[in-house]
Amino acid sequence: MQITTPDIGVDKAVVAEILVSVGDTIQENDSIVLLESDKASVEVPSTAAGVVKAILVKQGDDVTEGTVLIELDSEASNAEQEKATDSSAEQSSEPVESAAEADAAQKKTESAEQPQTTGETQEVELKVPDIGVEKAAIAEILVQVGDQIAVDDSVVVAESDKATVEIPSTVAGEVTSIAVKAGDMVKEGTLLLTVKTAGAAPAKPAVVEKSTVAEKPTAPAAEKPVAVKADPVTSTEKPATPSSTDTAKLTDEQQAANAKVYAGPAVRQLARELGVLLAEVKASGEHGRILKDDVFAYVKTRLSQPAAKQAAAPVASGLPPLPDFSSYGGGEVKAMTRLQQVSVPQLSLNNFIPQVTQFDLADITALEAWRGELKEGFKKQGIGLTILAFIAKATAYLLKEEPYFAGHLADDQKSVLLRNEIHMGIAVATPDGLTVPVLRNPDQKSIKQIAQELGELSQKARDKKLSPKDLQGANFTITSLGSIGGTAFTPLVNWPQVAILGLSPATMQPVWNGKDFEPRLILPLSLSYDHRVINGADAARFTRKLTLLLKDIRNILL
């Protein structure tokens, strides 16, 4: 039986830790792996009891929904139970027979939800289900050809820029072929592997079958699927290695050599980020285990060599390799946080967006006074009322009038997708970096509801408890510098969104009222937008309308 990655709401995630070992006896709902995305950490439980036969993923592997994680030998577990039953039979035969019947009945009950077999074998294709993102990278293959897997056993680990996900199997049987390799880019419908089943159909309508039907609409449901070897798409978005070896396109031999290296998932992830072939790194850990320090030492050694000996190929960003700084005091390579690392590809997409930023000033003197009146009452209810709750409400109201600011440029770049609902990303600063949980339908909620949800999302972000679904579906974002300082900044449009609102600290400023100057609390606004979708005049009108709403939020009621 294979335990696979369930739907965790993100495109991909990274295997941060493997919680079981081969030979371990586990129970249903026991945690088997820890998955980590740039937004949350999740423990994946086993969907069945048994003995761990094989672990198909490694630390640092990218996984997606349906990725096989481990293989369980449920028969071995049953054999132990039967052995215990036989031992009891020597003392009393009749009770044993009764117990055996009860055990059989129990097995029958447990198998009620399992696929019914017909006695015939067939090969079923397991494909990537809908994992909530356009594409993901195979971080780890959790099964091998010949492995026996069960329903819900993870088969591969997939990783996106948001999360690491294990993809579970929807059928039980023997793995006959594996169509992907670690590092391959996959999307919904991509063939992962084929499984020989005993005439069994998936226990539930599986995404795998859905993908198969979608690609072969004329094929009967009962027809034996044809196991076609997929042509994996190899990602080219990898940094250039400091080694002479081009790791952007590893050969099968290099991948095999890397797979044999004794290294943890965190180390493998670091090596991928730095473009290092682990097979070339000298291990200093116990039993030949490669440590992070070994990777850093390898990189430092390569950087200290003359520049002529370094790889001249540009990295994925298109920039040339770093020059040789050894003659200028050298330096130390320090890994970025996981959140920073997985944010790089997403932030790099901004290079393709013709972005413009519109600046404006909002008078929030009256709004802040009203907030002060309400704050104590909210506090007694356990709700922190910040100015952001009012801004989110006013912005959501305005987005209903100006839907293009919450839309998406279509793939053909000739049309715009206008969303039916408002889902607002709210940037939250954490010790590991910036994360953006999503506030759902703020236009339909009260200030009190928004304030409460903002507090909950912020706390979950700081505690690393955000689920993948907490981070998906936004069509507009608000980011704030809080009280850090500054007068304005240029927030980056978060593709596929087309606009983002930046808030700088509010300050008291003298404002001319026609007769004299009076102190007013002024909030700087910075609206960045995709110029392909939004015109400058429209952006100026948007910020002007927003300032009027914030000056007197009662306008929302009109």
Structure tokens belonging to residue 130: 């809908």
| Model confidence pLDDT, tens digit, residues 372-394 | 999 999 999 999 999 999 999 99
End-to-end Cα distance, the chain: 61
pLDDT, average across residues 138-158: 86
pLDDT, average across residues 505-511: 93
Higher pLDDT, 43 or 110: 43
DSSP class of residue 465 equals B
- How far is 243 from 301, CA to CA, in rounded Å? 10
**CA distances for 70 relative to 21, 97, 154, 256, 262, angstroms:** 10, 34, 6, 20, 18
Q: What pLDDT was estimated at residue 318?
A: 66
DSSP class of residue 499 equals E
pLDDT, average across residues 194-204: 66
Among 149, 139, 166, smallest CA distance to 45 is for: 166
Count of alpha carbons within 13 Å of 493, Cβ hemisphere only? 29
- How far is 472 from 458, CA to CA, in rounded Å? 15
Q: What percent of the chain has pLDDT over 90?
A: 35
Q: What is the DSSP string of 64-97?
A: -TT-EEEEEEHHHHHHHHHHHHHHHHTT-HHHHH
Q: What pLDDT was estimated at residue 256?
A: 56
Q: What pLDDT was estimated at residue 18?
A: 87
- As a whole number, the mean pLDDT across the chain is 78
CA angle 289, 293, 296 (to 5 degrees): 120
Residue ranges of domains in the chain, CATH in brackets: 2-75+114-232 (2.40.50.100), 247-346 (4.10.320.10), 353-557 (3.30.559.10)
- Torsion sign over Cα 257, 263, 265, 269: negative
pLDDT, average across residues 416-443: 92
Does position 411 have pLDDT exceeding 70, yes or no?
A: yes
Q: What pLDDT was estimated at residue 83?
A: 53
Strand arrangement, sheet containing 148-149: 122-127, 191-197, 173-178, 148-149
- How far is 141 from 298, CA to CA, in rounded Å? 27
Residue 125 and residue 227 in contact, taking contact as beta carbons nearer than 8 Å: yes
Count of alpha carbons within 13 Å of 408, Cβ hemisphere only? 17
Q: Which helix (H) or strand (E) holds 26?
A: strand 25-26
Does position 285 have pLDDT exceeding 80, yes or no?
A: no
- How far is 7 from 165, CA to CA, in rounded Å? 7
Higher pLDDT, 111 or 163: 163
- Catalytically active residues are 531
**Total Cβ atoms within 10 A of residue 103:** 15
Q: What pLDDT was estimated at residue 557?
A: 73
Q: What pLDDT was estimated at residue 41?
A: 62
Query: Model's pTM, two decimal places?
Result: 0.48
Higher pLDDT, 60 or 384: 384
Q: What pLDDT was estimated at residue 38?
A: 59
Residue 424, classified by CB atoms within 10 Å of its CB into exposed (0-12), middle (13-18) or buried (19+), is buried
Residue 33 and residue 18 in contact, taking contact as beta carbons nearer than 8 Å: yes
DSSP class of residue 412 equals T
Does position 29 have pLDDT exceeding 60, yes or no?
A: yes
> 194-203, 255-264, 363-372: lowest mean pLDDT where?
255-264
pLDDT, average across residues 437-454: 95
Residue 434 and residue 342 in contact, taking contact as beta carbons nearer than 8 Å: no
| Model confidence pLDDT, tens digit, residues 471-501 | 899 999 999 988 788 889 999 999 999 999 9
**CA distances for 513 relative to 340, 518, 547, angstroms:** 46, 7, 17
> Per-residue confidence at 91, pLDDT binned at 50, 70, 90?
very low
Coil/strand/helix, residue 522? strand
> Per-residue confidence at 339, pLDDT binned at 50, 70, 90?
confident
SS (H, E, C) 143-198: CCCCCEECCCEEEEEEECCCCEEEEECCCCEEEEEECCCCCEEECCCCEEEEEEEC
- How far is 189 from 181, CA to CA, in rounded Å? 16
Structure tokens belonging to residue 502: 């930046």
Q: Are strands 184-186 and 136-141 parallel, antiparallel or unpaired?
A: antiparallel
> Per-residue confidence at 230, pLDDT binned at 50, 70, 90?
very low
Phi-psi region for residue 189, left (φ > 0), alpha (ψ -120 to 50) or beta?
left
> 190-199, 331-340, 389-398: lowest mean pLDDT where?
331-340
Q: What pLDDT was estimated at residue 139?
A: 75
Q: What pLDDT was estimated at residue 250?
A: 53
Q: What pLDDT was estimated at residue 138?
A: 85
Q: How many residues does the chain have?
A: 558
